[in-house]
Structure 1
Amino acid sequence: MSFSPNWQVLSLSLLLVGGTALAEAPPKTTPAANHVARQRPGHAAIASANFHATEAGLEVLAKGGNAFDAAVAVAATLSVVEPESSGIGGGFMAVLHRAKDNHDVFIDARETAPAAVDSKDYVNADGSPNRDTALKGPLSAGIPGEPAGLVLIARRYGRLSLQQSLAPAIRIARDGFKVDARLHGAIAGEQKDLQRWPASAAKYLQDGKPPAEDSLWRDPDQARTLESIAAHGNDGFYRGETADKLVAAVKAAGGNWTLADLASYKAMERTPISVDYRGYRIVTAPPPSSGGVAIAEILNILSGFDLSKMGQVQRVHFIVEAMRRAFRDHNDYLGDPDFVKMPLDMLLSPFYADGLRQGILPDKATPSSMLPRAEAHEPGMHTTHFSIIDADGNMAAVTSTVNYTMGSTFVAAGTGVLLNDEMDDFALVPNKPNVYGLLGSVANAPAAGKRMLSSMSPSIVIGADRTAVIGSPGGSTIITQVLEGILHFIDGESAQQIAAHKRFHHQYMPDEVMVEDGTFDPATSAALTKMGYTLKQHESWGFMNVVTWDRKTNKLDAASDPRRPSGLGKVQ
């Protein structure tokens, strides 16, 4: 999703930037951990969901910033121009790689439950989940993590001041940008709920209607909030005037936030998950993301097969069976690591994967009913992701979200902040599916200050000669999209090929293979059906953004998902 000169472009395919300051000849390489060479590409690549956001990142790089400064700029700009998917009222997860010392770190800026959280608020009288309180209005919103995460990245890993990195987003919010078709469609789709909240209607509706495509859009309240963060860091959001406004608005609408909830929020640095597969090291997200654990478990299972020598039917069969087992474990074990003791040593063990692999029949599907019983609905398709490699080889894979389209649809008056609806990502009613069809147990039950489980899977893939930064939105399909992208990258495909691939998905329950239209030919579909699979056709999903680096040729490549109809490719 992005803007071209005619303001109709919805996605960025490729942006590379070079120049005097960034194009120095790379130094001689020396061996590094895991066969990674300390080499600098001398130019930079950004793939994001919006043209304005990518340009903001490039602007910050041109000022002397690094990939981490650019990540702050891209995320903040997406908050302004892509509110349907992410924003400072939500949270993000990021895998960062610092080139100078080969340091990998995971930034956990996931939202947290307020102290007064009460599961009864999310249950109907008959015991079923109350989708309205879980998805709409202030009760659906966790304490936002994105502002604290951006401050952490800027201050610990960036080169520039927070004011410099946030300047593009502030300028765009203040001066305005033209509404694209996707933003218009998102507001139109959520119009009924936006009208429930006066500040939401005032921000997103003009004379009671969504803003027209190509009309100029300004967001002065969010510009002021971003200026407050730029000037005061965490105190500019979690304390003081902005915090007062957030809490007052939430309480006035029936929510339960307190000033203490905001003041106590902290973004966390965690150790990422690392798994080796076919000579590549995959660095990915740990809990409270479920994505990295699931990806690692799937790859460990698949390591016992030579997928490269298989036909499509057999390859898909083994991948789906590995997905099925990993999602089963996702539902049973995972949650916030600060609250839940998880058997990660077991789940990430190659020996555990060996045992799971033994249960896969070579020519038949394993019915999910043979594994612990559960129910689930259809997964959803939201969130945003961007990937960055800078001139020095620093990398950022960042997945950001407000959960469902337009989050809670609730704007806190006077702040311009559209709040998330991430409370639905808790197991509000154990063993009942959330909006993405994912199940949960007591491990992901809500509690004061607890972070809800996520599917976000920002990842970096490092081989002897090639590196990829990869991620995607897509609810529960994030995990399988990123997995399939990793497999395609290891098979030698380009960024454009990886982003364009047709996709399939299995998440244990419902016991069906979700298949993008055109993924399989009739013969393959028939063979999989004969093996016992139920194939469910879907239209396109996801919005993958990939950056690759071929260190042999020192070439960077970046691609955004071509499923957006007006994608843009550009090389500088």
Structure 2
Amino acid sequence: MRWLSTIALHVLLLWSVTATAAQPPKQAYVSSAHPLASAAGIEILKQGGNATDAAIAVTAALAVVEPYGSGLGGGGFYLLRHAGKKTNYQFLDARERAPLAAHANLYRINGVVSTKLSLDGPLAAAIPGIPAALDELSQKHGRLSLAENLAPAIALARNGFAIDKVYQERASWRLAALQKDPESARIFLDQQQLPKTGWILRQPDLANTLSLLAAQGAKSFYQGPFAEKLVQNIQNAGGIWSLKDLALYQVKWRQPLIVPLAEQRQLITAPPPSAGGIAIAQSLLMLQRLPWQQAKPAQRAHYLAEVFRRAYRDRSLLGDPDFINNPIDALLARQHIVQMADSIQVDQATPSSHLPPGSVLYEGDHTTHFAILDQQGNAVAATLSLNMMFGAAFTVPETGVLLNDEMDDFAADVQGSNAYGLIGSQVNSIQAGKRPLSSMSPSFLEGPHEFAAFGTPGGSRIPSMNVLAMLEFLNGKAPQQWVASPRIHHQYFPDVLGFEPGALTEQQQQRLVKQGHEVKELTRNYGNQQVLWWQKDSGHSAAASDPRGSGASLSH
């Protein structure tokens, strides 16, 4: 294993891989959480667009057909692979920012934090990044025009589409909040009630907003009459956005986190303000010191739980890099990884309370992910979010823009926990203009012979899901097995090894309990992973969409 000094890591973050004589992918792929969004991406590829063009089309289409997971009122992270004589990677941070009027006691009433205020309504909304990201991606790396790339989404919004069981289920989870907001109820419900499958969802206001964006770019959203309409409606409903908030918003190009692994592979993943990328890197580095491949299922679950326990503990040290100095070097240093791995006992769980202090970030778990590979070898993996299902459940009148509730991803109460039982962290406290910490972690694994892309929604479970899929890849399994493998999870606190229904047998559970784990079978499956794979020696490529969702992996 090649370990990095502080200087070497900084060099590595600027490093690009010299491409070998790879055979270009024989087929392009788009894998997303909704068939109509995947089809929008394929349509753009057929028109001569590249992976970035398709990413713009898929992002916009998901805003229409999957309003519970992402949208123009939200944000996200984009990881890009640029093919050529040298393979270069980029990371676009389109995470939302806290309004300038936000402060540490924003949700505190009479000394007590009200979680309801950070979840529902416009006060819960941070300044969105997706409109700016679409324009930035188009200008910097698009081959087609922004108008061409947004055309499929505009048609979907204007003409409508039939909702499926996934929409119906997720709307049911937020029914009361949607009913409370007249505009959201008008658009997303059928006469105030949960719509039946097959009901046609039409969003003409959103189509108009997308058309404005297509014609004038991001300035149409963040400045001028449209911005004034947003701010006036949000302030009238109790929010704190200002025109200055919108005018000052910018996406950020950041250096992706690149970490060498065994067998000449490297992990390319999300840097802060994602905490997920570092958790994935730490987990993989620790696992390289453990015999996880030879272990039987219960013992492998033990190793994974102990690795996740330690990686998740360190996330409390991370925050928005524009506000704090993140200790990336220290968290990935050889000494730290070895110390954590060597503290794992073969037959005994380590109680989280026995580890040095740490805490876990706030986070919602309802996001979306897509992965795209074009026939030149360019790739995009993106994870997008509104936070809770349907975000703040507040739609700005006459715009079709459903707002996020990402302010709940801050530690509104650094001494307490949020709706997900996750402990607060001072470095992730609310501050004007700050980006909340996230687990969203679109990732690549690349070596001389293979390239793979990973990502999923799932809040705090995103890093563990990505690691589990990566282990299937490292074991030589096919992409459909990466996304279908049973899932287990540990996040330091609460000190519980959770698992999907049926992921562990009774006998395996008993062994884990004997080792000191508290095990808990979850009530439902989780995640919606989208992956792709390219065998560079042959040019063969493939993709897979999580069977737990209703997404589709389409080829061209």
Work out whether the TM-score is over 0.5: yes
Pair 1:181 & 2:165 matched? yes
Q: Percent identity?
A: 42
The residue aligned with 1:85 is: 69
Partner Cα separation in structure 1 for residue 301 and residue 445 of structure 2: 22
Query: Across the two proteins, how many residue pairs are aligned to each other?
Result: 538
Deviation at 1:567, TM superposition (A): 6.4
Range with bigger deviation, 368-377 or 532-541: 368-377
* Residue of structure 1 aligned with 2:238, choices 251, 254, 257: 254
- For each residue in 1:32-56, what CA deviation from the matched residue of structure 2 results, as whole angstroms up to 9, or x when unmatched? 8277554411420111000110000
The residue aligned with 2:399 is: 415
Deviation at 1:568, TM superposition (A): 5.7
* Residue of structure 1 aligned with 2:339, choices 355, 380, 392: 355
The residue aligned with 2:294 is: 309
- With over 3 angstroms needed to count, the CA separation of the structure-2 counterparts of 1:542 and 1:387, relative to structure 1, is same
Letter matched to residue 443 of structure 1: V
The residue aligned with 2:95 is: 110
Query: How do residues 233-312 of structure 1 correspond to structure 2 at under 5 angstroms?
Result: 233-279=217-263, 280-312=265-297
- With over 3 angstroms needed to count, the CA separation of the structure-2 counterparts of 1:138 and 1:570, relative to structure 1, is closer
Partner Cα separation in structure 2 for residue 278 and residue 352 of structure 1: 18
* Residue of structure 2 aligned with 1:198, choices 182, 186, 203: 182
Partner Cα separation in structure 1 for residue 426 and residue 367 of structure 2: 25
SS in 2 for 1:337: coil
Partner Cα separation in structure 2 for residue 379 and residue 114 of structure 1: 18
Letter matched to residue 438 of structure 2: S
Letter matched to residue 111 of structure 1: E
Deviation at 1:375, TM superposition (A): 8.1
- With over 3 angstroms needed to count, the CA separation of the structure-2 counterparts of 1:298 and 1:330, relative to structure 1, is same
- With over 3 angstroms needed to count, the CA separation of the structure-2 counterparts of 1:288 and 1:36, relative to structure 1, is farther
Letter matched to residue 314 of structure 1: Q
SS in 2 for 1:461: strand
Are the counterparts in 1 of residues 80 and 380 from structure 2 also a CA contact under 8 Å? yes
- With over 3 angstroms needed to count, the CA separation of the structure-2 counterparts of 1:379 and 1:265, relative to structure 1, is closer
Partner Cα separation in structure 1 for residue 96 and residue 195 of structure 2: 29
* Residue of structure 2 aligned with 1:405, choices 373, 381, 389: 389
* Residue of structure 2 aligned with 1:517, choices 493, 501, 505: 501
Partner Cα separation in structure 2 for residue 247 and residue 377 of structure 1: 29
- With over 3 angstroms needed to count, the CA separation of the structure-2 counterparts of 1:123 and 1:373, relative to structure 1, is farther
Partner Cα separation in structure 2 for residue 537 and residue 389 of structure 1: 36
Are the counterparts in 2 of residues 67 and 396 from structure 1 also a CA contact under 8 Å? yes
- For each residue in 1:476-504, what CA deviation from the matched residue of structure 2 results, as whole angstroms up to 9, or x when unmatched? 00110001111111111111000100000
The residue aligned with 1:155 is: 139
Partner Cα separation in structure 2 for residue 118 and residue 374 of structure 1: 24
- For each residue in 1:437-465, what CA deviation from the matched residue of structure 2 results, as whole angstroms up to 9, or x when unmatched? 33232211111110000010100111232
Are the counterparts in 2 of residues 436 and 475 from structure 1 also a CA contact under 8 Å? no
The residue aligned with 2:9 is: none
Partner Cα separation in structure 1 for residue 296 and residue 393 of structure 2: 46
Deviation at 1:135, TM superposition (A): 0.4
Deviation at 1:194, TM superposition (A): 1.7
Letter matched to residue 533 of structure 1: H
Pair 1:528 & 2:512 matched? yes
The residue aligned with 1:327 is: 312
Partner Cα separation in structure 1 for residue 123 and residue 21 of structure 2: 49
- With over 3 angstroms needed to count, the CA separation of the structure-2 counterparts of 1:400 and 1:135, relative to structure 1, is same
Partner Cα separation in structure 2 for residue 171 and residue 555 of structure 1: 33
SS in 1 for 2:541: strand
SS in 1 for 2:350: coil
Any gaps of 5 or more consecutive residues in structure 2?
Answer: 1-15
Are the counterparts in 1 of residues 31 and 372 from structure 2 also a CA contact under 8 Å? yes
* Residue of structure 2 aligned with 1:57, choices 41, 52, 74: 41
- With over 3 angstroms needed to count, the CA separation of the structure-2 counterparts of 1:374 and 1:358, relative to structure 1, is closer
Range with bigger deviation, 555-564 or 529-538: 555-564
- With over 3 angstroms needed to count, the CA separation of the structure-2 counterparts of 1:64 and 1:203, relative to structure 1, is same
- With over 3 angstroms needed to count, the CA separation of the structure-2 counterparts of 1:414 and 1:36, relative to structure 1, is farther
Are the counterparts in 1 of residues 277 and 441 from structure 2 also a CA contact under 8 Å? yes
Letter matched to residue 169 of structure 1: A
The normalised TM-score by structure 2 is: 0.93
Deviation at 1:413, TM superposition (A): 0.8
Partner Cα separation in structure 1 for residue 362 and residue 216 of structure 2: 42
* Residue of structure 2 aligned with 1:146, choices 105, 130, 145: 130
SS in 1 for 2:81: strand
* Residue of structure 2 aligned with 1:550, choices 518, 535, 543: 535
Pair 1:463 & 2:447 matched? yes
The residue aligned with 1:134 is: 118
- With over 3 angstroms needed to count, the CA separation of the structure-2 counterparts of 1:136 and 1:531, relative to structure 1, is same
The residue aligned with 1:98 is: 82
Range with bigger deviation, 549-558 or 257-266: 549-558
Letter matched to residue 220 of structure 2: G
* Residue of structure 2 aligned with 1:210, choices 194, 198, 217: 194
Partner Cα separation in structure 1 for residue 417 and residue 505 of structure 2: 32
SS in 1 for 2:180: coil
Letter matched to residue 291 of structure 2: D
Are the counterparts in 1 of residues 33 and 552 from structure 2 also a CA contact under 8 Å? no
Partner Cα separation in structure 1 for residue 507 and residue 257 of structure 2: 38
SS in 1 for 2:548: coil
Partner Cα separation in structure 2 for residue 381 and residue 440 of structure 1: 16
Letter matched to residue 466 of structure 1: E
- For each residue in 1:157-181, what CA deviation from the matched residue of structure 2 results, as whole angstroms up to 9, or x when unmatched? 1111101111100111011111112
Are the counterparts in 2 of residues 34 and 281 from structure 1 also a CA contact under 8 Å? no
Any gaps of 5 or more consecutive residues in structure 1?
Answer: 1-31
Deviation at 1:523, TM superposition (A): 2.3
The residue aligned with 2:303 is: 318
Letter matched to residue 170 of structure 2: A
Letter matched to residue 308 of structure 1: Q
Partner Cα separation in structure 1 for residue 55 and residue 129 of structure 2: 15
Deviation at 1:528, TM superposition (A): 1.0
Query: How do residues 376-525 of structure 1 correspond to structure 2 at under 5 angstroms?
Result: 381-525=365-509
The normalised TM-score by structure 1 is: 0.91
Partner Cα separation in structure 2 for residue 543 and residue 282 of structure 1: 21
- With over 3 angstroms needed to count, the CA separation of the structure-2 counterparts of 1:571 and 1:121, relative to structure 1, is closer
Are the counterparts in 2 of residues 230 and 236 from structure 1 also a CA contact under 8 Å? no
Are the counterparts in 1 of residues 29 and 555 from structure 2 also a CA contact under 8 Å? no
SS in 2 for 1:476: helix
- With over 3 angstroms needed to count, the CA separation of the structure-2 counterparts of 1:377 and 1:395, relative to structure 1, is closer
Range with bigger deviation, 115-124 or 71-80: 115-124
Letter matched to residue 87 of structure 2: N
Aligned CA RMSD, in angstroms, stands at 1.9
Are the counterparts in 1 of residues 364 and 387 from structure 2 also a CA contact under 8 Å? no
SS in 1 for 2:445: strand
The residue aligned with 2:4 is: none
Deviation at 1:184, TM superposition (A): 2.4
- For each residue in 1:338-393, what CA deviation from the matched residue of structure 2 results, as whole angstroms up to 9, or x when unmatched? 00112111012122101112221221100001124678899864110001110100
- With over 3 angstroms needed to count, the CA separation of the structure-2 counterparts of 1:394 and 1:377, relative to structure 1, is closer
